[in-house]
Amino acid sequence: MNAPEPILQPASAEQLPLGNAFGTLPPAFFTRLQPTPMPSPYLVGASASAAASIGLDPGDFQRQDTVEAFAGNRILPGSEPLAAVYSGHQFGVWAGQLGDGRAILLGDVPARAPSPTGRTELQLKGAGLTPYSRMGDGRAVLRSSIREFLCSEAMHALGIPTSRALCVVGSDMLVMRETPETAAVATRMAPSFVRFGSFEHWFYNERQDELRLLADHVIERFYPELRASDNPVEALLREVTRRTAELMAQWQAVGFMHGVMNTDNMSILGLTIDYGPFGFMEAFDARHICNHSDHQGRYAYHMQPKIGQWNCFALGQALLPLIGDVDTTQAALANYGEVYQERFDALLHAKLGLASVEEDDGKLIDALFALLQANHPDYTLFFRRLGELRLDDPGADEPLRDMFIDRPAFDAWAGQYRERLRREASEDGSRRARMHAVNPKYVLRNYLAQVAIEKAQDKDFSEVARLLSVLEKPFDEQPENEHYANLPPDWASSLEVSCSS
């Protein structure tokens, strides 16, 4: 059956032509169920940009019927809600069956923005119990929903592959975490929410027919160009490995830390998904752990590239019965390190404003990260201020030098950097413009999110909207919003984020 044509005029939620391609798989892949209503839902925030990407009129969020729909209280026409089953490795340990414990897929709609299939899935997170909730209550809380909403849209604006967030709907209903908190539902958007763990589920349950069905579904819908390959599943693994390596390079370059890189949180499309205890690097420390539940530091910043590769190997293990032999599977995985290094090097050259490549550039970059590690300057501010460096005026470096305890060490590195820039006849103005186009001024710092959350808990949602507006233009100067780029206040050092949400 052909997918409906994309909507040309902004539509209401009622008019969205919902389908559900994932729901065409056999019943073993999911459970059909209805979301559990929340009492008296209200809109916390909505992304006009995300709405426009599926042809939804942003003004429709002013209607209570629309709020009710994205709270899970009212089912949209054409929707056949379901929760998917999957498994996964959590913190490196096989955890067995997991699944959508609090997420319910509403269906998919035509996408105006680029999408592998021209369609986008809509998923409610926090919409109530499912058969996969285990010991959970199927709910999400307001604080984590706001954080996911803001970070999804921030990452999109940074140009990093990600799921998106359409809206957050809150309620005064209380749920228990460490303390009672109010509940919320976030509506997430992605071409697909199929994960590495979706394949692991069938492999470890020795159900090769379902494993084959899922692989065929993913290739047909999202990688149709691979159908002509001699071994399409091997080609799938190779492509997912490439995308994952590139994603890890993008995370590292911008200083993003996911916090819970379990295989059930890894997208088969190479997207950033399942925002939980994430963080953006502030005072640089390669061993920084953003997730206070990660007691062993498995998902620390410097570990992310290695864990990305480990997860690809876990996916390769799951796909081995379809690929056919170990050597072919290992060959499909072998490109990870090279792809990661090439992309990371390219991103660092751009961040440093280098327009050419020299043999010893790696030494300059390594020396920079050693300098950052020894002095712990703010990662985002350092690269932004580095764009202001003048080739022939070291005296203008003071705002940059002030970020370093060991100023002579900075001066020594800056001297090497200037020499490198002179060798390619770099010009201050054009280099500054290039660097500011790739080094964001604004990222979602934990304290900024916390301020928005605390106001929202008092029913003041204005800061959620303001912060979203700032994060949608991360590379712009935005003089009226200068304070959003400030160093975190002292109280921010006590903030903790964990898996509890």
Give the Cα separation of 159 and 323 in Å (integer).
Answer: 33
Does 422 carry a binding-site annotation?
no
> Which of 152, 145, 103 shows the shortest CA–CA distance to 124?
103
The catalytic residue among 57, 60, 100, 264 is: 264
Does 455 carry a binding-site annotation?
no
3-class SS of residue 445? coil
Cβ neighbours of 159 (radius 10 Å): 13
> Please, what's the b/e burial string for 218-249 (b: 16 or more CB within 10 A of its CB; e: otherwise)?
bbebbbeebeeeebbbbbbbbbbbbbbbbbbb
Does 243 carry a binding-site annotation?
no
Does 345 carry a binding-site annotation?
no
Does 78 carry a binding-site annotation?
no
Distances (CA, A) of 149 to 220, 275, 467: 30, 9, 11
* Cβ atoms of residues 429 and 391 within 8 Å: no
Does 274 carry a binding-site annotation?
yes
* Cβ atoms of residues 38 and 141 within 8 Å: no
**DSSP string of 370-423?**
HHHHHH--BHHHHHHHHTT--TT-GGGGHHHHTT-S-HHHHHHHHHHHHHHHHH
Structure-block tokens of residue 389: 């460096």
Does 325 carry a binding-site annotation?
no
For this structure, is 476 an active site residue? no
Quick one: CA dihedral 464, 282, 92, 159, positive or negative? Answer: positive
Maximum separation of any 2 CA atoms in the chain, in Å: 68
Give the Cα separation of 329 and 322 in Å (integer).
Answer: 10
Does 102 carry a binding-site annotation?
yes
Our CA angle for 444, 370, 91, nearest 5°, is 55
Q: Which residues are part of the catalytic machinery? A: 264
Residues making up the annotated binding site are 99, 101-102, 125, 137-138, 188, 195, 265, 274
